[in-house]
Structure 1
Amino acid sequence: IDQMFIGIFILLLILKPIACVIIYDTTDDNAHGVRIAGNDQFIVYGMNLVMGFHINFAPYVPLPNCVYMNTSRDFYVYSLDVVFNNDNNTSDQLFTFVQISEQMSTQNIYFSIITVNKSLCINGNMSTAIIRDTLILNGTHQEYMLLKVVPSQKYACVFADTFALMFDIVNNEIIELKDSYTFYSYSYPIIPHAIDVTDTYVIGVAYAISYINPNIAVVIAFLCELQPFRSINYTTIIDMNTLTQTATLATTYNIANQMSIAVNNERQMAVFGFPLINVVLLLNINTTSTNTSQWNINIMRTDHGPPNSGFGQSVAWIDDKTVAILLYSINARSWSQSEVWTFAVDIPLQIPLSVFPNNQQILDVDFSVTFFQMVLWSNNLYLLVIYNFVILVPSQAPGYQSIWYNDEDFYSTIFQSAPCPSGTYKNEAGYGVCTICPPQTKNRGNEPAIECSSCLSNSFCPLGSIDDVTLINYTSYIQTFAYPDSPDMNNYDDIIVQNIFSIGHSVRCLIIAPLFWASLAIALCFIIWFIMTMGKVFNCQIIVRHRDNAKKFLKNTDIVGEGERWIGGLSSFAIVVLFGFTFWFAADYHQLYPIETSGPMHASCDTTMRNAIFDNALQLPLSNPDGSRWPIFDMLDAQPFTMSLDLINTGADCENITIQQNRPGVNYVTLSNLSCLMQPDNVTLTATFPLPQHQLEVQLNISGVYSIGGIRLCLRGPGIINGSSTLQTLDTCTLLFTTNETLARTSTVSVSLIK
């Protein structure tokens, strides 16, 4: 028995250190807490991988930055936060932040106040820093430790698995340290996952082991008072009916259990993000009562994001009316797996006001970026991304935006300031993108724009316009025409009789009508006859003298009675008029053949008249008796095509344009014979290139942030004559645009030619 006892004791001694081994993943900076923070003076990123931190100082421009590393400290940083330096007059080179850490060799918990001197940053490296460590607990491993500095900058709050801490930063001393069971007055573990603070209270979200079923955890929101430091109450916000989470998963770190919360003290509201089920909750914080025991939290609204998107991975307030929501896995872009969506908070979070990254604010990297955490202050966006990297998108003044900047910093990238591109404007400060100009407004982009100017009323100014464009220079035209119908009357005698005795209803038809002019001639003849008759009756010597001369003249013009009667000469004038119009009609009718080269009919009221009879039967392209095809088909196959694309109302230059031929199963082929021309209006780009074959897929690529109001696609080919076969010259253009819109990021146009 003694030998068995000794064996068991030795076995326990062997197993005990094995069971207590804790693995610290220094490559995952999203684990166990929040290690990025910033204010208007500096930003800091705690890097466990190199046992140090990365700092950038304001003003936030690409470079300079500082890296501090101390591999002798085996402190695993869980969370940190920055302290605002209110004494810039005497210590403008000193910057302080605080962190909560666990020593990996002992599992001791330390609260650290770290002060760095900006002047000691040389060539991006800082060799020394003032670090004041305070031991909080001995040998007590924590899965989560969350730290926030109170807005007054005097205190810091820490919430962990087994304790809650309030620390005096100014005097470097512990104010309150309580174990979790005592602090929450709850008999089961509460594991905090996210907190935020004001000067009077702390709000947090946590997994709480259910007292009904200790194997299950529910999501709660808790409210704590700062003076005195105590828990007031908590409420379940995600119950077991919505999510069934095991106690084992709830009490250990995994990215699926990510939570985030952000408070707005002015609105007495908080936004809670729970990406596991893609929901964001809007919470009301009731702290109006002087009796703090009556303070409470209520759910105002629940918003659901896209399925499996990690909606709510991180949340933040931009101002009192807008919030930013991080989506962990939206898979929207090849170069970014995550996005930050901005919403108006007072309406359901369905349609974002803006999205980051976007076509103006791209991430110019060689891998798909994933965002883990987000921090916002003064409209600056600070992101922790995959591969131990951080991105800062600084707030810019109206008329400017932040765009990607390629620097040589291994750990971070700070976007740089740039004026709003042509066709956009920005009328407020922020990290966000410039807004596209509304329809009938424009921006040339020559200088920062806080608004777009008006376009001319008759110009083409769609969404995102750069300048006024007159579409008369880019009209559509085709070489096809409607198949005409055969005329109802095809006998020439009937056609000419109908033309003589019809007048029509328009002034033009009246002027060219033979019957109208013949009637005028008859009326004139009647007047002359009446005058001559009255002169004879009343024996007017003047009329009688001229009457004899007129009779001789009229007898000579008599084509009816062959010169026998002068009255026949009068009627001959009407006949001459009819004959004149008849000959004019005949000549014009003759010019209507063939119809391919004829114009409109001038001698008839009906301008669509055709000198042809049409057969509606289709003629099949049968082979020749020897089996060969008609030559015209070989000529069609051999006709070379040239395509032209007019990109209308765009800021793109020729250097931004490339043309490629896409071929299935193989890489694309770049078409090198590209001719590019900027039109005189300076906002229309024409790309012309020969097509290597008739059946193909051509892709035009535009690099850069440019909108396109519309396109005109033209296809041209030379004419060919081969014996009796004539292939006409191909020249057709089609204008494509949508009123008050701009071209989509990817647009497809299909062109089909029928022989």
Structure 2
Amino acid sequence: MNEHFLVLAENKNEPPTFFIKFAPYNNTQLSLQCSIYNINTTDSFIYTVAVGKKQNENRTHFYFAGELINGKNGIFVGVAIYNNNSSLLCNNSFTYYFQYFFNYQHQEYYILGVEPNGYFTYGFSNEFIFIFDVRNTSVLDLWNANLTWPDATFIPHAVDVTENFGVISGFIYNGMNSTVKYSPIIYLFNFNSSNGRPIIVNEYKPITTPGTWQDLLINDDANFYSAEYDMSVSINQYGDVLVGMQFINRVLLFSVNIRKPTQLYFVSRNTNGRTLGNGKSIAWLNNGIAALIVNAYTLDYDWLTSQFQIYDIRTFGYNSNSTPLSIFPNNHEKVPKSLDPIFINIVSSPSSLALLDKSGHILIFLSTLPGFYLTVKDTGTMPLITTSQPCMPGTFKNQSGIHDCTLCPSGTKNPGNFTTFCIPCSSDSFCPLGSVDEVPQSALENVIQAVPYPKSPENVIFEEILIKNMFLIGSNRCVVVSPLFWTLIVGSLAAGILIIMGISKYIIKDPRKKRTRELIKKIFRHTDLFGEGELWVGGLASLATI
């Protein structure tokens, strides 16, 4: 995507198609967008499509890279050049040029980095690197990647290129005997003055913190394509570099001296908790503002949530404690029903941003003027394009951009008459965060709330509380509910029965009364829990215990 057109490759069709959306993006007429294909891409899979960020209207072309499938072997790079026909009949308005190289087999990762003005593109893989120039499409400068990569096992995952340097990230293999099989690495490269080929001049290896979950990752399958290992790289006009590595949930911020790009200076990092997905895709906008897809996946890479966050990194810096300018979606900027809630990629021009969902749908965010925020109207057509609305009362926005309006700080208000700033409240008024109007201090009333709480017990273990209350009889306790009181009552009755039975043994002579005494003993033997029915005294003791 640049200021003049946007392109999306779609492999669901045969042959693969390219969806083109021409600027201005705020016009959704079908005449300004179309889908194109070329018969030469039959039986092929398109890996990536890319454009130069600074291409002008007279250089409307895009690069694409892929490989042959369905039993055919070969890797290719191509360019589609717009013929600038006023009719805009898509398939007749683009001319295609291809370069095939059959000496290499299937590549798990094969990426493009386009020079900002769009004159040529670099192709990167583990096995080869090339330069393809749109001004001379009959020539492909192709060479073995071992001549460039400091580590021959390097697998490139993401790249961004400026006029005089580039940054590429990926994995290197640590060997069979290493616990961590593949480790991430970031290379800084500039260009050979004679042939334009990339030269690696500096590297950075992200280090995990001992004892963290990232420190336990071994990345043993990072040599095979998986969305879990997606990376992203984006460079702005100041030489600030963002690198997203969602598999460790981190976004790294670097700085490069654009006049002497020989050192990759680490600045800070942002970590987003115990999930995956932070920095799945990254794009710089104007004035040091960046947009990041911050997805949340479980450690098994099951999707949970998607959002993209906007940070003013140039003004406020960027680390794990940074607060975003705005987050999409939010309570008044919601995901349209026609858009999939899983976000997978963002690309940007200096003032606009395009969001791609899992289903291949596009939402274009257009920059709004100060005092306005963007809204999404679900028209059901693709791509969806945002419109602008004035900031709501209690909020303001003092610069252009795709970010949301900001709540008025405490001590200020915005009744709705001012959308680019908030006005101070009176010193003797109450003005909390996001105030629409002020409340005089005299209108406020002090309210004292006395909420009695019971005294916490000294013991909290149930057995200790039970024993303490069992043997406690005090002036502040009801005797009737005391377990000790009832134990004494039952014990006294049992002792009385025992005495009566003992005396009756010697004084009763009448046979009928003796039979009654034996019947009572028999009943007590049936209740004997201690002697298992052998002793009548055991039955009496059992009843007393219960």
TM-score scaled to structure 2, two decimals? 0.68
- For the pair 1:433 / 2:404, whether they are aligned, the reply is yes
Tell me, yes or no, if structure 1 residue 108 matches structure 2 residue 74.
yes
Candidates 14, 31, 51, aligned match of 1:82: 51
Give the structure-1-normalised TM-score. Answer: 0.51
Are the equivalent residues in 2 in contact too, given 1:440–1:462 (CA < 8 A)? yes
SS of residue in 2 equivalent to 1:276 = helix
Task: Supply the distance in 1 between the matched residues of 2:11 and 2:29 (Cα, whole angstroms).
Answer: 22
Aligned to 2:503: none
Q: CA 1:243/1:150 → structure 2, altered by over 3 Å: closer, same or farther?
A: farther
1:411-442 Cα deviation digits (max 9, x unpaired): 42211122222222111011000112233433
Contact 2:251 2:270 in 1 (8 A): yes
Q: Distance in 2 between matches of 1:252 and 1:175?
A: 27
Alignment of 1:40-189 (within 5 A): 40-50=3-13, 51-61=16-26, 63-65=28-30, 66-70=33-37, 72=39, 73-74=41-42, 75-83=44-52, 88=57, 95-105=60-70, 106-116=72-82, 117=84, 119-121=86-88, 126-138=90-102, 140-174=105-139, 176-184=141-149, 186=151, 188-189=152-153
CA contact (8 A) 1:62 1:407 kept: no
The one of 186, 211, 227 equivalent to 1:221 is 186
* Residue 436 of structure 2: aligned partner: 466
Answer whether contact 1:441 1:455 (CA < 8 A) is retained: yes
The answer to whether residue 199 in structure 2 is matched with residue 231 in structure 1 is: yes
Structure of greater Rg: 1
Question: Residues 439, 432 of structure 1: CA spacing in aligned structure 2 closer, same or farther, 3 A cutoff?
Answer: same
Whether the 8 Å CA contact 1:461–1:468 is kept in 2: the answer is yes
Within 1, Cα distance between the matches of 2:37 and 2:399? 42
Identity %: 24
Q: Counterpart in 2 of 1:340?
A: 309
1:373 and 2:345 are equivalent in the alignment: yes
SS of alignment partner, residue 396 of structure 1: coil
Equivalent residues of 1:81, 1:148 under 8 A apart: yes
Partner of 1:427, secondary structure, is coil
Deviations 1:452-501 (A, max 9, x none): 234455665433233456798898999xxxxxxxxxxxxxxxxxxxxxxx
The one-letter code matched in structure 2 to 1:407 is T
Find the partner of 1:307 among 274, 277, 283: 274
Q: CA deviation at 1:194?
A: 0.5
How far apart, CA to CA, are the structure 1 residues paired with 2:185 and 2:304? 36
Q: Which residue of 1 aligns with 2:326?
A: 355
Q: Does the alignment pair 1:443 with 2:414?
A: yes
2:421 partner letter: E
Structure 1 equivalent of residue 230 of structure 2: 258
Q: Check conservation: 1:260, 1:312, Cα contact below 8 A.
A: yes
CA contact (8 A) 2:54 2:116 kept: no
Is there any run of 5+ residues in structure 2 with no aligned partner, and where?
Answer: 449-546
The structure-2 alpha-carbon separation of the partners of 1:67 and 1:49, relative to structure 1 and needing over 3 Å to count, comes to farther
Please give the secondary structure, in 1, of the residue aligned with 2:264. strand
What is the distance in 1 between the residues matched to 2:336 and 2:274? 27
Distance in 1 of aligned mates of 2:64 and 2:25: 23
- What code does the residue aligned with 1:466 have? V
1:262 is displaced (CA, Å) by 1.7
**Pairing 1:531-546 to 2, within 5 Å after superposition:** none
Counterpart for residue 509 of structure 2: none
Q: Is the 8 A contact 1:166 1:174 kept in 2?
A: no
SS of the residue corresponding to residue 205 of structure 1 reads strand
| C-alpha contact (below 8 Å) 1:324/1:343 kept by paired residues | no
Which amino acid counterpart does residue 133 of structure 1 have in structure 2? Y
Give, in whole Å, the separation in 2 of the partners of 1:313 and 1:113.
27
2:221 partner amino acid: L
Contact 1:203/1:223 (CA < 8 Å) preserved in 2?
Answer: yes
Q: Deviations over 1:618-650 (max 9, x none)?
A: xxxxxxxxxxxxxxxxxxxxxxxxxxxxxxxxx
| Residues 56-80 of structure 1 deviation map (CA, whole Å, 9 limit, x = unaligned) | 2222226135231438533322112
- Can you give the 5+ residue segments of structure 1 that lack an aligned partner in the other structure? 1-37, 479-755
Aligned ranges 1:714-733 → 2 under 5 Å? none
SS in 1 for 2:433: coil
Q: How many residues align?
A: 425
- Counterparts of residues 686-725 of structure 1 (less than 5 Å): none
CA displacement at 1:361 relative to structure 2? 2.2
Cα distance between partner residues in 1 of 2:444 and 2:216: 63
Quick one: structure 1 residues 288 and 84, their matched pair in 2 at CA, closer, same or farther if it must change by over 3 Å? closer
Give how far 1:130 is off: 1.6
**What are the residue-to-residue correspondences of 1:271-290 with 2, within 5 Å?**
271-285=242-256
Match of 2:221 in 1: 249
Instruction: Report if aligned partners of 1:208, 1:220 keep a CA contact under 8 Å in 2.
Output: yes
Alignment correspondent of 2:161: 197
- Letter of the 2:67 counterpart: E
The CA deviation at 1:198 is 1.1
CA distance in 2, matches of 1:301, 1:278: 14
CA distance in 1, matches of 2:56, 2:380: 33
